[in-house]
Chain A
Amino acid sequence: MSIDSMFVHKMWDDKELSKMVTGGVPFPMLSDAGGRVGAVYGIYDEDAGVETRGKFIIDPEGVVQGYEVLTPPVGRNVSEALRQIQAFQLVRDSKGTEATPSGWQPGKPTLKPGPDLVGKVWEAWKTDMAFD
């Protein structure tokens, strides 16, 4: 979503993005005239008149589970966004019985919060697990 019109979105997809992604952008490119949606989400830069690089992860209930906001010159990490969604999905599927520690990736061990884990996280999780 950006302040550009859907017509400009079409031209950008036709002229440039479809040369990067076969078939063009697969998801809807939303237009936010005047930054009204961005202002509600708190990421519209009124002085510059553009949206900053905000990313929101919204769960099936419509609840915001996480967000990240970057200034324009630095791009996002799509793999990290997907990892976060996988982590939120795991927690949701476990109905809150599991949590994903720092550095968690699919397949890596989770934590089972409860009385037995208090003061014992150091046994279940080592600092090198924070890194890939």
Chain B
Amino acid sequence: MCRATGGPVGEPVEANQEDEKIVKEEPVMIKVGQKAPDFTAPAYHKGKFISVKLSEYLGKWVVLCFYPGDFTFV
């Protein structure tokens, strides 16, 4: 925050807008008709721990489902 030199003494200092801006990334929805972002993730599959890379499923239809948590109710 800066104040112009020579300003009136005793006046409240206005907050500099740019300094106050909180840097927070807003979640952006991906778009239909565009490539699904690739990722690699650890996984459990039929008794084994594996690594899954989305792009290894090219050539197949994929349903990618997210859910809040294991042992939840729905």
Contact = CB atoms under 8 A, between A and B. Distances in A.
Contacts of B57: 58
B33 interface: yes
Interface residues of B, number: 42
B58 interface: yes
Contact of A51 (B28, B33, B66): B66
User: Secondary structure at chain A's binding surface: helix, strand, loop or mixed?
Assistant: mixed
B65 A1 contact: yes
Contacts of B32: 64-67
Contacts of A60: 58-61
Interface in B41-74: 41-46, 49-50, 52, 54-55, 57-72, 74
Interface string B29-44: 1111111111101111
B27 interface: yes
A24 to B, nearest CB: 7
Contacts of A29: 43-45
